[in-house]
């Protein structure tokens, strides 16, 4: 899965108050990513608020994105509470032309490792869509252990993992351990934007990025520098994004990028309720950060 490398950009999914996807606005977001040259597009991830959308609206988002992407690989979120629902969503994604599915251990009742293993194995087997493990304990409250990742990596059709990055100093050892426990060609990537530069410098395959969904160019510069062995340049650019990382941590990356999309004139949308948009004082901070970033990059 060569496309599961480099920068995977995760845009928001603009919707109205009734949960209907604004496909025109979504296409504008996707067009920015394609023009920038991202390696893949992560549609319907957590930033894409997939769990708030019906199956029909996910299909509409998929069709619009894949049409606009014009060959850029699309990794589509296929998570659901029930295994049968996740299978159908993965089948929809495959039929629409998605290159892979991003699957989280979504639950209401806490899940055991055996339950998660069966869930993932069933979706991979019945859908025929390559599956990326989505380890996102911040929202699912389930953490993939090293043993479970090793088991899942042996399942035909499970081809990659999207890891969280909590402590930059632990990435190198975590990556090394995961490399030794998974088959050759199994793609290992990280999210958590403020530590992603370090992950790419350490040799991760992919940065699954929230910020790249709205500001792909600067994120691509970090990725390309890391891929070229220029750690100093990657860290220099990453340092220029420190004010944005602080906003992400304070207000959440989701709320922040919705505000960025509005301030940049790409689309006017609000996150699905009950999530509220940022208050005016926070929007002013986001606008100030965008101004500083533009000046710094210039």
Q: Which of 50, 134, 190, 208 is an active site residue? A: 134
259, 278 contact by CB (below 8 A):
yes
Antiparallel, parallel or unpaired: β 158-163 and 74-77: unpaired
86, 78 contact by CB (below 8 A):
yes
Which residues have CB under 8 Å from 54's CB, separation 6+? 19
Hey, what are 297's tokens? 């990059």
Asked about 249 being catalytic, the answer comes back as: no
Q: Which of 50, 94, 162, 258 is an active site residue? A: 162
Asked about 283 being catalytic, the answer comes back as: no
DSSP string, the chain: -TTSSEEEE-----B-TTS-B-HHHHHHHHHHHHHHT-SEEEETSTTTTGGGS-HHHHHHHHHHHHHHHTTS-EEEE---SSHHHHHHHHHHHHHHT-SEEEEE---SSPPPHHHHHHHHHHHHHHH---EEEE--HHHH-----HHHHHHHHTSTTEEEEEE----GGGHHHHHHHHHHHS-TT-EEEE--HHHHHHHHHTT-SEEEESGGGT-HHHHHHHHHHHHTT-HHHHHHHHHHTHHHHHHHHHH-HHHHHHHHHHHTTS----PPTTSPPPPHHHHHHHHHHHHHHHHHH-
* 140 marked among binding-site residues: no
Which residues carry out catalysis?
A: 134, 162
Which residues belong to the annotated binding site? Answer: 47
- For the annotated binding site for pyruvate, the residues are 47
């Amino acid at each position: 899965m060569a496309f599961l490398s480099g920068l995977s950009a995760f845009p928001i999914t603009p919707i109205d108050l009734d949960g209907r996807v604004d496909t025109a606005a979504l296409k504008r977001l996707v067009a920015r990513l394609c023009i920038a040259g991202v390696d893949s597009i992560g549609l319907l991830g957590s930033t894409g608020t997939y769990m708030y959308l019906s199956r029909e609206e996910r299909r509409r988002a998929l069709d619009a994105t894949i049409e606009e992407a014009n060959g850029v690989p699309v990794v589509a979120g296929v998570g659901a509470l029930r295994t049968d629902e996740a299978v159908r969503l993965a089948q929809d994604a495959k039929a629409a032309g998605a290159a892979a599915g991003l699957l989280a251990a979504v639950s209401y009742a806490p899940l055991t490792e055996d339950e998660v293993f069966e869930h993932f194995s069933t979706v991979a087997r019945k859908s025929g869509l390559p599956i990326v493990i989505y380890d996102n304990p911040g929202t699912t409250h389930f953490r993939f252990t090293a043993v479970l990742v090793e088991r899942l990596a042996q399942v035909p059709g499970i081809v990659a993992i999207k890891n969280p990055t909590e402590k930059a100093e632990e990435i190198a050892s975590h990556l090394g351990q995961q490399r030794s426990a998974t088959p050759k060609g199994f793609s290992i990537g990280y999210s958590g934007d403020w530590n992603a530069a370090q992950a790419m410098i350490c040799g991760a395959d992919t940065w699954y990025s929230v910020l790249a969904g709205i500001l792909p160019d600067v994120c691509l510069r970090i990725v390309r520098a890391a891929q070229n062995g220029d750690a100093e340049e990657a860290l220099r650019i990453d340092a220029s994004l420190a004010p944005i990382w602080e906003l992400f941590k304070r207000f959440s990356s989701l709320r922040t990028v919705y505000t960025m999309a509005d301030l940049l004139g790409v689309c006017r949308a609000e996150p699905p309720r009950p999530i509220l948009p940022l208050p005016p004082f926070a929007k002013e901070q986001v606008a100030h950060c965008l101004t500083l970033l533009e000046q710094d990059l210039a």
